[in-house]
Chain A
Amino acid sequence: MGDIFVLIISCIFINNIVLAQYLGNCPFLGTSKKMETAVGMSMAVIFVLTMAGVITWIVDTYFLVGLGIEFLRTIAFILVIASLVQFVEMFLKKSIPALYAGLGIFLPLITTNCAVMGVCLINVQEEYTFVEALISSIAYAVGFGLALVLFAGLRERINIGRVPKPLQDTSIGLVTAGIISLAFFAFKGMV
């Protein structure tokens, strides 16, 4: 049980997917201009990443490793993720239109979110068991959401401030992200 707890803490804070692992930066900067969008995107990532982490783990363990064709991992994973996103989009549209209205518009952005692909790859590289893979997927996604929501809150405030022209928008965003990252850096001393 203790291991699981350490895994969760490490995935959310210490190895935060955006701020320490450098993954998922494009949506991190792109969808953080408004709190509303940031929350939607976070939810969509948590939803998709959990499913993608589990399914890719199964594909990897039972097919790729079993058949000895690990070199096809990249193609297999991207195909699985892309079709999963498509599937989820169709499913939500039909079955849970309310949820689709909230998350649907972000789903196409997730296919090219390297956080999703990255976590799937980390899961198999670290040779996690099924349960660990599941937990780490959820925890990484929560970490992504946490970072995104924090960042969006800061950016909303920065928008009011007087920022020199060349530093505006993405530039100041990155510097801000650096400072949040520094804060998360402190968690490294925790474990």
Chain B
Amino acid sequence: MLESVLFTLGLGLIISIALSFASRIFYVYEDPRIAKVENLLAGANCGGCGYTGCSAAAEAVVKGEAPPNVCILTSKENVDKIAEIMGLEPGTAEPLKSYNDCDGGERATDRFYYEGLNSCKAVAALYGGKRDCPVGCLGFGDCIRACQFDAIKMGKNGFPVIDKEKCVGCGACERACPKPILKVRTMSDRLLHLNDEDDAVAPCAQTCPAEIDIPRYIHHIKEGEYEEAVDTIRERNPLPLACGRVCPHPCESYCRRGIEDEPVAINHLKRFAADYEMNSGKRIPIEKAPDTGKRAAVIGGGPAGLSCAYFLRRAGHQVSIFEAMPKLGGMLRYGIPEYRLPKKVLDWEIDGIVNLGIDYHTNVRLGRDFEFGALIAAGYDAIFFSIGAWSDYQLKIPGEDLNGCYTGINFLSRVGNEEQLDIGKRAAVIGGGNTAIDCTRTLVRMGCEKVYLVYRRTRKEMPANEVEIDAAEEEGIEFIFLAAPNQVMGDDEGRVTGLEYLKMELGEPDASGRRRPVPIEGSETLLDVDMIITAIGQAPSAEFRGKGDRMDDISWSRKNTFEVDPATHQTNVPYIFAAGDAATGPALVVDAIGGGRKAARSMNLFLKGKPVTPQPKAILNKHIQDTIFDSVAGIKQSKRVETPEMPVADRINNFDEVDLVISESDALREAGRCLNCCRYCYNPDYEIQA
């Protein structure tokens, strides 16, 4: 009797002492809230929430990865108590939702006739499924059976449709699906997802540097759902008004209709949807994730900076933009003339972005008005550089500093800033890019009587957009091809009186594949002009460097741009990221927007303390080769919508917008031309006889 009592007490004592010592020795700091939250969960380890048991779910709640209402069994009061512990309103952690990527469904063709079990998993085990498309929906509805919340239905086109209201984001459908079709993601993860090899993306969307889901927004337009269309564009591009006007739409060159017919006017449709929102007078609300409490600084408020700030803000971070110029917009405002992108439109668009809760400071230049160290001292967790490429290249010919010589971006930005400039009667613009064209067309509008464009190769080699070249021609610009400036002539007062150039002929092709121009001896020709603008390219201006702070550690490329990891946009200093012209050299607006988003993805990872790794399989503006077709069956020829534009006579005297928006009926007709392509399948105009 005595022994047994003593033994039990002794054993209990030893165990309790051992365990209490162990809990001290092996103490691992665990947020005390985890235990509190776990006590409020149902304790059944049912797995309905998608975590391995209640303690894992509690940990996720405390980490902010799961909302307080994660537990599907616990009562309303307990949800409120958990929210109280977390200091949150119920449901403030960003909810997970299931999304379906596949638009194919039944229209995708079958590789073989299948008569086995009615289960996606079973058919996937047989040569990866019966459909031709390796990623598309198999259509047997394993996801529907897996969903415990009745949130998925099979749509009439043979792919699952998700009821966002009922979806709790448990992830059962994603696990049930043998293909990468159903993805359970938070809104911010979706926004920051880069298109990858396993996604069901159409060729146009693969080409778009901003990775906009083009077929989806065109489909919305076709259905008259203009607000949804704008929302879809804004998932990838915060500047649809600007892009809809100035984008040279590389997507249209990969439009499948374009193979047999004329490509769909994708950019006009984007502009139509964006203008619809602006003209409707009410802004479509933009959803954003709950605040994370992390702060990021964006240096440079151009398209890349605005895009990065926009996506970081939507992911819940606090963002401050620092802009050297008097207003936000960067090259959109100071590099693109009013007649292509009216300032009023740009202002409206930028207001919408900063209204998300982004604070911004203008007229502050890094290295002049504030130092890099001050940013660190102010507690920014990550810094994004999108300072653009504002420093024009010089021709390095005699007389370049005479009165009447300007450089391209400098000239355009001063015009954009409404400075008074002396405009000559006859002007020569040197260069063949968009900046050069913009300079010529601006000069015409400022009253210049004769404008020449001097380019050392031929029209075929001009890097400017075709439509811009045509418009310049229509406006009376005279092109002088195969001409290399030799020297600028001046008078006694130091004013420009002419430009001497050498005639050229094309020689052997160079590294870029363009034939190299070779000067012809003794072909000096004089052009009688009193104003010269040099627009032969730009590089970032690096005047803030060399001050002995961390900025000097950043590596720069030979082209004088930030050297970044092309997949993550991270520089060699882990908390510094860069994109836009500052990282790529002069490029398209849409490249800058895409770069800003890619950098935002990496910064979001960095700010959340996760490793900044490239997304595996991200296509990064390359194409998924076998989705690019040579021929497309089932196309009926139909005319592409014409760009409505102002007559030349009405436009060359003022800065009114030249290209106009297409009408609603044209937009609906044009949207109807879209084949609504997915990875492999599309809606043909007529049934293809097999």
A and B touching (C-beta < 8 Å)?
yes
Given known A90-B26, A94-B27, contact A67–B11 (CB-CB < 8 A):
no
Within 8 Å of chain B (Cβ to Cβ): is A125?
Answer: no
- Would you call A188 an interface residue if the criterion is a C-beta within 8 Å of the partner chain's C-beta atoms? no
Contacts of A91 in B (CB 8 A): 22, 26
Do B18 and A105 touch (CB < 8 A)? no
Chain B residues whose C-beta falls within 8 Å of the C-beta of A2 in the assembled complex:
none
Q: Within the complex, which residue of B3, B22, B25 is in contact with A68, where a contact is CB–CB below 8 Å?
A: B3
**Segment with Cβ contacts to A, from B115-123, B337-345, B453-461, B618-626:** B115-123
Within 8 A of A (CB), among B75-120: 117, 119
Question: Are A105 and B53 closer than 8 Å at their CB atoms?
Answer: yes
| B52 close to chain A: CB less than 8 A | yes
User: CB-CB < 8 A to B19: which residues of A?
Assistant: 83, 86-87
Residue A63 is within 8 A (CB to CB) of chain B in the complex: yes
Q: Do A63 and B26 touch (CB < 8 A)? A: no
Q: Does B56 contact A (CB under 8 A)?
A: yes
New contact pairs (8) apart from A76-B11, A90-B26, A159-B121, CB-CB < 8 Å:
A75-B8, A83-B15, A87-B18, A90-B28, A105-B56, A108-B55, A160-B117, A162-B119
Are A69 and B119 in contact, CB atoms less than 8 angstroms apart? Answer: no
Taking a contact as CB atoms under 8 Å apart, the answer to whether A79 and B12 are in contact is yes
* Residue numbers in A under 8 Å from B56 (CB-CB): 105
Is A87 within 8 A of B22, CB to CB?
yes
A-B contact pairs, 23 of them (CB 8 A): A63-B7, A67-B7, A69-B3, A69-B7, A72-B7, A76-B7, A76-B8, A76-B11, A79-B11, A79-B15, A80-B15, A83-B15, A87-B18, A90-B26, A90-B28, A91-B26, A93-B26, A105-B55, A105-B56, A108-B53, A159-B121, A160-B122, A162-B117
Q: Give A164 Cβ to nearest chain B Cβ, in Å.
A: 13
Say yes or no: is B4 at the interface (Cβ < 8 Å to chain A). Answer: yes
Query: How far does the Cβ of A72 sit from chain B's closest Cβ, in whole Å?
Result: 6
Provide the bound-state CA to CA distance between A91 and B22, in Å: 8
Closest chain-A Cβ to B469's Cβ sits at a distance in Å of 60
**B28–A93 touching, CB < 8 Å:** yes
Which residues does chain A contribute within 8 Å of B377, judged by CB atoms? none
- Bound-state Cα–Cα, A161 to B125, Å: 11
Please report the total number of A residues contacting B with Cβ < 8 Å: 26
In the assembled complex, B23 has its CB within 8 A of some CB on chain A: yes
Q: A94-B28, A105-B53 are in contact. Are A67 and B3 (CB under 8 A)?
A: yes
Which residues 141-172 of A sit at the B interface, judged by CB distance below 8 A?
159-162
Mark interface residues in A66-109 (1 if CB within 8 Å of B CB, else 0).
Answer: 01110110011001100100110011011100000000010010
* B8 engages A72 (CB within 8 Å): yes
* CB closest residue in chain B, given A69: B4
Contacts of A68 in B (CB 8 A): 3
Could you mark each residue 17-37 of chain B with 1 if its beta carbon is under 8 Å from any beta carbon of chain A, else 0? Answer: 011001101111000000000
The reply to whether A90 and B15 form a contact with Cβ atoms under 8 Å apart is no
Q: Which of A72, A86, A94, A161 contacts B117 (CB 8 A)?
A: A161
Cβ-defined contact, A105 with B52, below 8 A: yes
* Among A63, A75, A160, contact of B125 (Cβ-Cβ < 8 Å): A160
Q: Interface readout for B631-665 with A: 1 if CB under 8 Å, 0 if not?
A: 00000000000000000000000000000000000
B residues 405-453 touching A (CB-CB < 8 Å): none
A181 to chain B, nearest CB (A): 27
CB pair A95–B26 under 8 Å, yes or no, is yes
Instruction: Give the top 8 A-B pairs by smallest Cβ distance, nearest first.
Output: A94-B26, A90-B26, A83-B15, A69-B4, A67-B3, A160-B122, A162-B117, A93-B28
Residues of B within 8 A of A93 (CB): 26, 28
- B243 CB to nearest A CB, Å: 45
Q: How far, in Å, is A159 (CB) from chain B's closest CB? A: 7
Closest to B56 in A: A105
B residues 38-55 near A (Cβ < 8 Å) are: 52-53, 55
Closest to A30 in B: B45
Which residues in window 29-83 of A have CB below 8 A to B?
Answer: 59, 63-64, 67-69, 71-72, 75-76, 79-80, 83
Bound Cα distance from A91 to B28, whole angstroms = 10
Query: How far, in whole Å, are A55 and B12 apart by their CA atoms in the complex?
Result: 15
Q: With a CB–CB cut-off of 8 A, which chain B residues contact A87?
A: 18-19, 22
Contact partner of A83 (CB less than 8 A), chosen from B18, B26, B117, B125, is B18
The smallest beta-carbon distance between B358 and chain A, in angstroms, is 38
B23: which A residues are within 8 A, CB to CB?
Answer: 90
Q: How far is the CB of B120 from chain A (nearest CB, A)?
A: 10
Report the bound CA distance from A64 to B18 in whole Å. 20
Least CB separation from A162: chain B residue: B117
